[in-house]
Each structure stands twice: as structure tokens, then as C-alpha cells.
Amino acid sequence: MTEGQARRSQQVYTLLVQVGRKEGDGLPEGATGAGLLVYASGVDEAEAVRETVAVLRQAEMAPLDVQGYGTLEERLAEGDEIDETERALMQRALEENSVVVAQLTVFDE
């Protein structure tokens, strides 16, 4: 490889996804939607977002908005405290090149 052609490696991004209601989404009756804390791998945040949205759509969910919080390194630089459980989930997303839902918060009226 020459300079400027550095191989882009996978990283894990922390994303907060808001989903609305859709038939078959698995959310409880009376829920208006949900928020999902997700760790997703990608060569950049845009790829991680695309993969997350695709996975959620396959799961019959209706993604409405995705907010990115960066990589582990970026979050640590911002002063976030990241415990071992969270780090383990991030590592799993990286090793499996996957999307890991770490937390689901149901919204209701």
C-alpha cells in the first residue's frame, strides 16, 4: 500500500436510535415507540448507521432517527465513563462485525 491508501479498519460506534411503531415490531401494546442504545461496527459512522437501520428494518422495526456518539476512543476523549459491560458489548460488535442492541427503552403516552 502506498501513502494515502491506508486500509480502513472496522470500528465500533455508539448510536442512539429512535423507532416508531410498525406492525410486528415486538413492542408492547400501548407503546408509541422506543429508544435503542446500539453498538455497531463499520469503517465509518455512516456505514454503522446504514447497517443498523437495515438490521432494524429486517426486524420489522421502524427507525425514525439515529444519533451518533462516536467510537470508544472518541467517547473517552469526551470524558465518558465506559464500564466493562459496555466495553464487552462493543468488543462483541467488533468481533462479530454486527449490530448489538445494548438497551431498549419503551416510550408510552
| Domain interval for residue 75 | 11-108
Place of cell 467510537: 71
Asked whether residue 3 is assigned to any structural domain, the reply reads no
* Number of domains comprising the chain: 1
pLDDT category at 92 given cuts 50, 70, 90 is: very high
**4 within a domain of the structure (yes/no):** no
6-62 pLDDT, tens digit per residue, is 457 899 999 999 999 999 999 999 999 999 999 999 999 999 999 999 999 999 999
Strands 99-108 and 62-71: unpaired
Looking at the predicted structure, is the pLDDT value of residue 2 above 70? no
20 to 13, 48, 83: CA distances (angstroms): 22, 20, 29
Is 104 contained in some domain?
Answer: yes
Say if 2 falls within a structural domain: no
Are 66 and 46 spatial neighbours (Cβ–Cβ below 8 Å)? no
